Amino acid sequence: MGILTRFMRRLKGTKDNGGSAQEEIEGALDHFIQQVESKVKAREMYPLIRAELYDHMQSRVDEEIRLGASLADAEAAAVRQMGEPLETARQLNKVHRARWPWLLWLLLVVWISISCLTMYIYEMKPSDPYGLSLTTKHIYMMGIGMIFFMVICAIDYRKWLNKGMFILMLILATMVAAQMFGMKVNGHTFLNLGFNTYINIFSLSPFPLLLGLYLWYTQIQQQSTSSLKRKEWKLLFISMVPILFYVYELRFFAIMIYMTGLVLLWSKWLRISWKRIGIFIGMLCIGGLSLLASSDYIRRRLISWMEYGIFQGEGKGGDSYVYDQTRAALTEAGWLGHGLTDTLHIPYLFSENMTLFIIYTFGWIGGLLLLAVFGLLVGVMYRLAANVKHELGRGIMRLAATYMMLHAVLYILGLTNVIPLNGGGMPLLSYGGGNIILWMFVLGLFCNVYIRKDMIPVMKSTT
């Protein structure tokens, strides 16, 4: 990396003060390169294109001189062999341009259409208590989400690099504020942002926290090596703090998704260390046992899960009512479902369990088709991420794709009673403005990286 960094710095210095490096690329060669550059649109690629073309032409000059040509003749021959500079620039513009992930966008349109259509069908049901406002609000929030998506797409993702700590602290501060000033609705804490806007920060926070940790760690790696260990431990400590909030708030879904994401991040960036994993598992056991000992609610939830999982029992009512009904609805759906006339009576269905509603209405076949579309969506995301050379960008894309996949996998494992989780929903499928905006942020960030993939210089060096 050293040589290239020096070279880039040298070229940058040249531009700043019109200095001597420019003079190294002289006369005819320089004129040719400038003509190419003047027509290449991806300005950040200039230093690398310049270096490569210069090396090529200078190699030709050296050979011509070895064969007995004068310097002027050798340079003229080098330029002549290169062909038309504007044609080279035109061809380079075909490569170094914005890349639009059309297939992903098409799949997203399909997914969002399924989401809006499901909401519409849900409201058509005979016993719907919510009138025709849900679909309208859902589409309205999708519209706001689209604006958010476009704004995130427009901001160069590399500007996020030094914002990791800020994102972490902002989310943690919002969690504290929610604890202090928030209001409880059905056991969930909402923070009032004013203008009649309430956010469920605890369910929205895992992705920004994981993103903040990733960005902060990447920044630490780039900055220094002297106090790297100390900074890593600091980061490790801070990464534990949200778990305390989630446990206190009994946010099982958030705990699962955040901790799974955390383990994946550690295994990649903090390198797997048995000592750290031991500490992590130890903390998990202590936290889990104290939670189990302190909460009747959790004990009842676990018993309910075991009854379904082990004894295939019936619902017992009380705290586990939603939990029991959800599993019963899944079992009763059958291959073809109950169609549009039968209604599913489960609280918060539209905000937590629209996937279940689809399965109940269109059967297991409908559920499998839904999973197929989602699998395709995530598969395309991973494939696009693999084509990105910029490490930070590729990391962000993989984080976004993994977060989407984790969310869906945990929800499905909960729904099928493999793990004791309830609700959470598939990305973008359920009602809820905050959730829609978060998913649009995740997808906007993902597309942002892909769009710029061929306009950003990436250098791998032997030294």
Partner 1 sequence: MKISKELLKGSTTLLVLSMLEQQPMYGYQLIKRLEQRSSSVFTLKEGTLYPILHTLESEGQVEAIWSEADGRQRKTYHLTDKGRKLLQEKKAEWDLFRGSLDRVIGEV
Interaction of residue 91 with partner 1, rule CB under 8 A: yes
Count other Cβ atoms within 10 Å, centred on residue 389. 13
Interaction of residue 395 with partner 1, rule CB under 8 A: no
Report yes or no: 391 and 379 within 8 Å, Cβ to Cβ: no
Task: State the minimum distance, in angstroms, from the CB of residue 58 to partner 1.
Answer: 6
Tokens of residue 14, six digits: 């040249």
Interaction of residue 84 with partner 1, rule CB under 8 A: yes
Task: Give the count of residues interacting with partner 1 (CB under 8 A).
Answer: 38
Sheet with 183-185, edge to edge strand ranges: 183-185, 188-194, 197-199
Residue 207: which of 157, 257, 270 has the closest Cα? 257
Of 79 and 213, which CB lies nearer to partner 1 in the complex structure?
Answer: 79
Task: State the minimum distance, in angstroms, from the CB of residue 10 to partner 1.
Answer: 10
* Torsion sign over Cα 362, 366, 371, 374: negative
List the x/- string, 344-383, binding to partner 1 by CB under 8 A. ----------------------------------------
φ, ψ (nearest 5 deg) of residue 40? -80, 130
Q: Which 8-state DSSP code applies to residue 428?
A: T
Report yes or no: 353 and 423 within 8 Å, Cβ to Cβ: yes
Interaction of residue 60 with partner 1, rule CB under 8 A: yes
Which region among 79-87, 198-206, 274-282, 337-345 touches partner 1 (by CB under 8 A)? Answer: 79-87
Interaction of residue 98 with partner 1, rule CB under 8 A: no
Task: State the minimum distance, in angstroms, from the CB of residue 1 to partner 1.
Answer: 9
Interaction of residue 87 with partner 1, rule CB under 8 A: yes
CA distance linking residue 68 with residue 87, whole number of Å? 30
Task: State the minimum distance, in angstroms, from the CB of residue 219 to partner 1.
Answer: 24
Interaction of residue 137 with partner 1, rule CB under 8 A: no
Residues contacting 324, CB < 8 A, separation 6+ = 304, 308, 314, 315, 316, 317
Interaction of residue 4 with partner 1, rule CB under 8 A: yes
> What residue ranges bind partner 1 (CB under 8 A)?
3-4, 7, 36, 48-49, 51-56, 58-60, 62, 81-85, 87-88, 91-92, 94-96, 386-387, 389, 453-454, 459-463
